[in-house]
Structure 1
Amino acid sequence: MYFEHLIEINNPLNPLIEPLSVEQVWQGLMYRVEEPTVFLPGLERCTILSRQGDRVERELHFGPASVRDTVTFRYLEWVCFESLATSEHAGGRLTIRFDQPAAEHLYLRFTYETTLPDGMEAGEGVQVSEYVKAAYRESDLDTVRIIRLIAANGRPQ
């Protein structure tokens, strides 16, 4: 399944949105790499297995299930979370890119590529696909909400 969407971070025409700098958003995304339990409901703990430059290997523990993933990033441009499919996990890739069409506008572009079917077939597959996309959207909105909290109040203790 392929799914992509944008979440607005800054819009000078909307006074209800507190503007964030690219650096503030980046720091929040790096916090998601280091402390994913703050961002992912159901994640009990994360073990950093290795760290080299722009690459972090992790093991995520969801109750009895665990998922290994690799996070790569390019400073102030993108972060990519990638995991292989296992019997417990569908596997896939999430890339979060900065999208700045104008100096005062800022978006995050979330792109998912998973082993789940796209849902082009009729029936239950379409419903599952739409449910998964809605869950991704909500998770991404939560990520931005948490990044805003971190920018305003510092990292949670």
Structure 2
Amino acid sequence: MKFEHLVEINDLSNPLIEVISREQLWRGLILRAESPKMFVSYIDQCAITDRTEVSMTREIQYGTLLITDHVSMVHNDYVHYEVPAQDQIPPSSLRMSIEEPEPDHLFVRFCYEDGHTAAEDEANEMYDEYRRSAYHEADVDTIRVIRELAEGGLLNALMN
């Protein structure tokens, strides 16, 4: 299954919504990688087991399930999550890319891929429709949390 969608960050036509900067948005996306429990309530634990300036490897515990993933990033551009095949889990990926078609008009494009063949996608269509809906809802919630942190000044403090 391949699935992508855009979430608008700054609605420039609405003066009641605070404009957050690309750097604040970027910091929020990195915070989601570093501290995913802030964004996903059902994660029990997350440990970063390896880290460079442009990547990290994490172990995430969901109950008895332990998943290892790799996160790579290009500053102010994208964060890419890759889950290699492990136990009963097939490989998958998620890329969160910042788009700015005009100054301050920010979006995040969420691109999911699970590595299934077209035949597997067809067989899983009903399940995949549910997954697309759940992914969309989770992504909108991620942006809501980032916006709350930015509006509260917490992403500014983290940027220094």
Asked if Structure 1 and Structure 2 have the same fold, meaning a TM-score greater than 0.5 normalized by the shorter chain, the answer is yes
| TM-score (norm. length: structure 2) | 0.88
- Aligned positions, number: 153
1:129 is the counterpart of 2:109: no
- Deviation by residue 1:36-80 (Cα, 9 ceiling, x = unmatched): 111123111101101112010110000100100011000000000
Q: 2:18–2:151: 8 Å Cα contact kept in structure 1?
A: no
- Deviation by residue 1:78-120 (Cα, 9 ceiling, x = unmatched): 0001111223433311000011111131100000011356675
What is the match of residue 104 of structure 1? 104
> Structure 2 counterpart of 1:135, which letter?
A
* Higher deviation after alignment, 145-154 or 64-73: 145-154
What is the match of residue 94 of structure 2? 94
Between the aligned partners of 1:69 and 1:55, the Cα distance in structure 2 is 11
Between the aligned partners of 2:16 and 2:121, the Cα distance in structure 1 is 38
Shift of 1:16: 4.2
The share of aligned pairs that are identical, in percent, is: 36
What is the match of residue 43 of structure 1? 43
Once the two structures are superposed, the pairs formed by residues 54-133 of structure 1 within 5 Å of their partners are 54-116=54-116, 121=122, 125-133=124-132
**Greater relative CO, 1 or 2 (CA 8 Å, sep 6+):** 2
Q: 2:3–2:132: 8 Å Cα contact kept in structure 1?
A: yes
Gaps of 5+ in 2: 156-160
| TM-score (norm. length: structure 1) | 0.90
Quote the RMSD (CA, aligned, Å).
Answer: 1.7
Label 1:57 to 1:16 Cα distance change in 2 as closer, same or farther (>3 A). same
2:40 match: secondary structure = coil
**Which stretches of structure 1, 4 residues or more, deviate above 4 A after TM superposition?**
116-120
1:140 is the counterpart of 2:145: no
Gaps of 5+ in 1: none
